[in-house]
């Protein structure tokens, strides 16, 4: 699985958009970008994933650059409940290993 690089921490004002970047310059053509988040001491929660097209769901939007070497997770109107560690994971969807490998993630602090 490709390695990802994320900032260690970020702050965001409540009600504003939170833009969380992720670099994955060694991504392969068949690797997807997944985003999960972990609110303090809870189990990680799936947010969104994509291959090359931008994706949007009820939680967030995922913007993947044309060369697929980086992506941005966007929380359009961050709330205090969005304070969490956000993990960007790049992996092949159907690889035999199957497990998710979590890096350090970005600790997002949403402030009032």
Partner 1 sequence: DSGVTQTPKHLITATGQRVTLRCSPRSGDLSVYWYQQSLDQGLQFLIQYYNGEERAKGNILERFSAQQFPDLHSELNLSSLELGDSALYFCASSLTGTGLGYTFGSGTRLTVV
Binding site for partner 1 (CB under 8 A): 36, 38, 41-46, 49, 91, 93-105
Q: Which is nearer to partner 1, 29 or 96 (CB)?
A: 96
d(CA 42, CA 16): 24
DSSP state letters, 29-93: TTEEEEEEEE-TTSPPEEEEEESSS-EE-SS-EEEE-TTSSEEEEEETT--GGG-EEEEEEEEET
Q: Which is nearer to partner 1, 36 or 82 (CB)?
A: 36
Q: How far is the CB of 93 from partner 1 (least distance, A)?
A: 5
Q: How far is the CB of 59 from partner 1 (least distance, A)?
A: 14
Q: How far is the CB of 82 from partner 1 (least distance, A)?
A: 18
Q: Which is nearer to partner 1, 67 or 96 (CB)?
A: 96
């Amino acid at each position: 699985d490709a390695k990802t690089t994320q900032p260690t921490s970020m702050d965001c004002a409540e009600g504003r958009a939170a833009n969380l970047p992720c670099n994955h310059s060694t991504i392969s053509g068949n690797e997807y970008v997944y985003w999960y988040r972990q609110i303090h001491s809870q189990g990680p929660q799936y947010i969104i994933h994509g291959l090359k097209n931008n994706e949007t769901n009820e939680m967030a939007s995922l913007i993947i650059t044309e060369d697929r070497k980086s992506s941005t997770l966007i929380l359009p109107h961050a709330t205090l409940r969005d304070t969490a560690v956000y993990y960007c994971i790049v992996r092949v969807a159907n690889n035999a290993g199957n497990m998710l490998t979590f890096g350090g993630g970005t600790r997002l602090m949403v402030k009032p």
